[in-house]
Amino acid sequence: MTEPTSTAKLSVHGNDYELPVYSPTAGPDVIDIRKLYSSAGVFTYDPGFTSTASCDSTITYIDGNKGELLHRGYTIDDLASKSHYLEVCYLLLYGELPSPTQLEDFENRVTNHTMLHEQMVYFYRGFRRDAHPMAIMTGVVGAMSAFYHDSTDINDPWQREVASIRLIAKMPTIAAWAYKFSIGQPFVYPRNDLDYASNFLRMCFAVPAEDYEVNPILSRAMDRIFTLHADHEQNASTSTVRLASSSGANPFACIAAGIACLWGPAHGGANQACLEMLKEIGTPDRIPEFIAKAKDKNDPFRLMGFGHRVYKNFDPRATVMKQSADEVLDLLGVENNPILATAKELEKAALSDPYFAEKKLFPNVDFYSGIILEAMGFPTSMFTPIFALSRTVGWISQWKEMIADPQNKIGRPRQLYLGETTRAYTDIETR
Ligand code: CMC
């Protein structure tokens, strides 16, 4: 933690208080209110944490107005075009880009942990066939603490490291198996001669009767999807992981909590919700009807894949993802796919509509990632698991940072209580 650079004055109930102000390396100053309750006897009120910094961090920085996303200082555009997912994982976890030997060592460590404990096969079989792959992933990742006892002690740095590598290495296998189970196909085991993205594609699309030859353009697009989703600062699922971890819970339990939070349609579930919306729209001629619904104040409907809590100009991840979407659509020749045609028209219609421009609602990363995944042949139910797989490194990096922080305290928000005050219990006969 840095030293205060100035103070802020607060006047409450006729008394003045001075609060320390910290200046970050980038972004707005932060007023330290930690002593506010003990000194002034008041809480602050900030549902949705729109103005509250819950931690200090050196991992990821977002400037929503500029449309900038930095990991350890490197722009997402540079990382998505010049780097690759495992290198970005190293950067997020350890703070620096790896040397060639460091990268090779890291890739070997990840590759050596791609298999799941064989007993986990029975765990999968306990799920209903029609279970959503996110439900399976939440369960299986949570259950890892029952299979990998030797990496659950959060106070041991070595165990934390092993848990981190295990989670990054096994997540593609866990997600691919959730998919295979849901479609009734046998599990495909990882192959360690393939790169991370190709291995995942093969585990999803190969069958014992016929191997799957990985197309390098698709593998590159998959790797970009992983890279673009790798971390995103203190979003809902990351904050969930931090909050769960603040109690001392083991890493597998914390990441399972993050996966559960990510599933919601306002967060990682948006890519599935977006494709389902495109299917519902069906054909481009129905777009005006849906745009009108999205603009109607009395209708809760929102255009899925549009808007962002932080990016209010454009989502820099969406710019890169759009290029990838064009490459994949060119390769697969899917111009005649009605869903994809509808997506392209919807993008045009929303971008030229003043409502969306005024409210700064632009297509976000999930709009384009959904299109790519649909074109690759993934069912919509796999979109959020792929997001979860990609985000695992972000969750772990933030978790590791938090555990190593001496200021780490159990998270315990306050509330503005508006319920009844103490009242006398009335017996049931008299109610
Ligand atoms: N369609 C239509 N209107 C919208 C939309 C939308 N997608 N998003 C926001 N608005 C309107 C909203 O009705 C509100 O209007 P008004 O000011 O008249 O009340 C205004 O824009 C501001 O909305 P908000 O809910 O206060 O904004 P927020 O920053 O809290 O919400 C959001 C951000 C992402 C939850 C929201 O834009 C949304 O629900 N989008 C659709 C879901 C989606 O695509 N989520 C994925 C986000 S990217 C993946 C990730 O990082 O998790």
Atom of ligand 1 nearest to the CA of 232: 51
Q: How far is it, in rounded angstroms, from Cα 264 to Cα 384?
A: 9
Index of the ligand 1 atom closest to the CA of residue 48? 30
**Per-residue pLDDT of the chain in tens (431 residues, 90 and over written 9):** 789 999 999 999 999 999 999 999 999 999 999 999 999 999 999 999 999 999 999 999 999 889 999 999 999 999 999 999 999 999 999 999 999 999 999 999 999 999 999 999 999 999 999 999 999 999 999 999 999 988 898 989 999 999 999 999 999 999 999 999 999 999 999 999 999 999 999 999 999 999 899 999 999 999 999 999 999 999 999 999 999 999 999 999 999 999 999 999 888 888 888 888 998 999 889 999 999 999 999 999 999 999 988 888 888 998 888 888 888 888 887 666 778 788 888 989 999 999 998 998 888 888 888 889 988 999 999 999 999 999 999 999 999 999 999 888 999 999 999 999 999 999 999 99
Torsion-angle region of residue 71: left (phi > 0), alpha (psi -120 to 50) or beta? beta
Q: Whose CA is nearest to atom 44 of ligand 1?
A: 305
User: For residue 237, what are the CA distances in angstroms to 5, 94, 292, 323, 384?
Assistant: 31, 21, 31, 27, 12
User: Would residue 366 show up in a list of annotated catalytic residues for this protein?
Assistant: yes
Residues whose CB falls within 8 Å of the CB of residue 376, separated by 6 or more in sequence, listed in order:
201, 218, 221, 222, 328, 332
By alpha-carbon position, which residue is closest to atom 45 of ligand 1? 266
Q: Decide: helix, strand or coil at residue 318.
A: helix
User: Contact at 8 Å (CB) between 116 and 174?
Assistant: yes
Residue whose CA lies nearest to ligand 1 atom number 19? 297
Cβ–Cβ < 8 Å for 185, 207? yes
Nearest Cα to Cα of residue 168 among 224, 247, 238, 90 = 90
Q: Residues 317, 69: contact at Cβ < 8 Å?
A: yes
Phi, psi (deg, nearest 5) at residue 188: -105, 125
Place of tokens 């699922």: 237
pLDDT score for 337: 74
Instruction: State pLDDT tens for residues 222-232.
Output: 999 999 999 99
Name residue, tokens 């607060």.
10
Amino acid sitting at position 266: A
Closest C-alpha residue for ligand 1 atom 9? 307
Cα angle value 251/225/287 (rounded, 5°): 120
Work out the angle at residue 341's Cα, subtended by the Cα atoms of residues 322 and 348, and round it to the nearest 5 degrees.
60
Catalytic residue among 132, 366, 405, 427: 366
Residue whose Cα lies nearest atom 4 of ligand 1: it is 302
**Residue 408: how many other CB atoms lie within 10 Å:** 15
From 377, 372, 370, 384, select the one nearest 275 (Cα to Cα): 370
Rounded-to-integer distance, Cα 165 and Cα 142, Å: 16
pLDDT value, residue 334: 66
Question: Ligand 1: distance of its center to the CA of 271 in Å?
Answer: 14
- Evaluate if pTM is beyond 0.85: yes
Question: What is the C-alpha to C-alpha distance for residues 190 and 300, in angstroms, rounded to an integer?
Answer: 43
CA of 361 from ligand 1 middle (Å) equals: 7
CA atoms within 13 A on the CB side of 421: 0
- Tell me how many degrees the CA angle 176-179-180 measures, rounded to the nearest 5: 85
Minimum-distance ligand 1 atom for the alpha carbon of 237:
52
- Give the separation between CA 167 and CA 262, rounded to whole angstroms: 16
Catalytic residue among 71, 84, 308, 315: 308
The pLDDT of residue 335 is 65
CA torsion angle 99 100 102 108 (round to 10): 160
Q: Which residue of 308, 313, 315, 319 sits with most ligand 1 atoms within 8 Å of its CB, as the best mutation to test the pocket?
A: 308
Q: How far is the CA of 65 from the centre of ligand 1 (A)?
A: 15
Paired residues of 65 in beta bridges: none
Q: What φ, ψ does residue 365 adopt, rounded to 5°?
A: -55, -35
Choosing from 359, 360, 369 the residue with most ligand 1 atoms within 8 A of its CB, the one to mutate for a pocket test is 359
User: How far, in Å, CA of 401 to CA of 56, rounded?
Assistant: 9
Distance 400 CA to ligand 1 centre (A): 31
Please confirm, yes or no, whether 231 is among the known catalytic residues.
no
- Apex 80 CA angle, 77 and 81, nearest 5: 85
Q: Which residue has the tokens 């799941």?
A: 116
- Contact at 8 Å (CB) between 79 and 88? yes
Cβ neighbours of residue 234 closer than 8 Å, sequence gap 6 or more: 49, 53, 54, 55, 57, 242, 398
Amino acid in the structure at residue 287: I
Write the residue with the smallest CA distance to atom 32 of ligand 1.
Answer: 308
Residues with CB under 6 A from ligand 1: 232, 235, 266-268, 270, 294, 302-309, 359, 361, 364-366
pLDDT of residue 261: 97
DSSP bridge partners of 9: 18
User: What span, in angstroms and rounded, lies between the C-alpha atoms of 218 and 201?
Assistant: 9
